[in-house]
Structure 1
């Protein structure tokens, strides 16, 4: 595995549309993290969003191909990439500092369901190409 990577699974506040959620995460939250961590921000912070194209009775169902709505309680998946585990630990120390953590938590309260957040370390990746 090259570097240190992890995935975050994030659930949107139900009062926000998927577009409002995406806009906040992409423009405000990531900028806050960059300001707090500076040169210790990850090499990359890639966000993937679950398609929720049509509102139905105040909800935004996922565009599920296989499975059910209950399988997709999250709205976004982020992959954060660091040079190595030490670089991640440095980043984590900065975002865990009480003052920084309070700023991050306050922002997260505006657009995500914090208690639903999940994170997991990523292992290797295998890619198959058409040709």
Structure 2
């Protein structure tokens, strides 16, 4: 049975949403994939919030004064983060191997250096997913 976690990530102050995405996609993820090898998740799906340049949007936040999220329900403050990632592992043992490798001092330091350029790690949130249900059209 697969094991899945969700990570909510916030970009570092001073970085645009496009710069954040570019840093994650071109530097951090390829670097982690190379470093972790077989312990990298089966899949690592990233979903970036849609943000638009809008200096006068109502409810802009201090973190996103000119890049409000496209919100249909809720407030800008509810969506002050930048991405939601879903990491899927073969099973809990695979996840444990991943975490064990991530916590090795040398690897943790190298990943920390890569993330420091783009991610405000103090705002990261990580949770284990329970059941996953999908409803398809038709």
The question of a shared fold, defined as TM-score above 0.5 by the shorter chain, is answered with yes
Q: Which runs of 5+ in 1 are unaligned?
A: none
Q: What does residue 59 of structure 1 align with?
A: 66
Deviating runs (4+, > 4 A) in structure 1?
Answer: none
Offset at residue 55 of structure 1 (A): 4.4
- TM-score normalised by structure 1 residue count: 0.93
Paired with 1:71 and 1:28, the residues of 2 have a C-alpha distance of 28
Offset at residue 56 of structure 1 (A): 2.1
Q: Do the aligned partners of 1:10 and 1:75 also contact (CA within 8 Å) in 2?
A: yes
| More displaced 10-residue stretch of structure 1: 80-89 or 9-18 | 9-18
Paired with 1:128 and 1:93, the residues of 2 have a C-alpha distance of 34
Output aligned runs, 1:109-120, within 5 Å.
Answer: 109-120=116-127
1:75 to 55, 61, 82: 82
Q: Do the aligned partners of 1:29 and 1:107 also contact (CA within 8 Å) in 2?
A: yes
Q: What CA RMSD, in Å, does the superposition of the two structures yield over aligned residues?
A: 1.3
Q: What does residue 5 of structure 2 align with?
A: 6
Paired with 1:22 and 1:71, the residues of 2 have a C-alpha distance of 20
Q: What does residue 22 of structure 2 align with?
A: 23
Describe the superposition over 1:47-73 as per-residue Cα deviations: whole angstroms up to 9, x where unpaired: 000111214275311111100011012
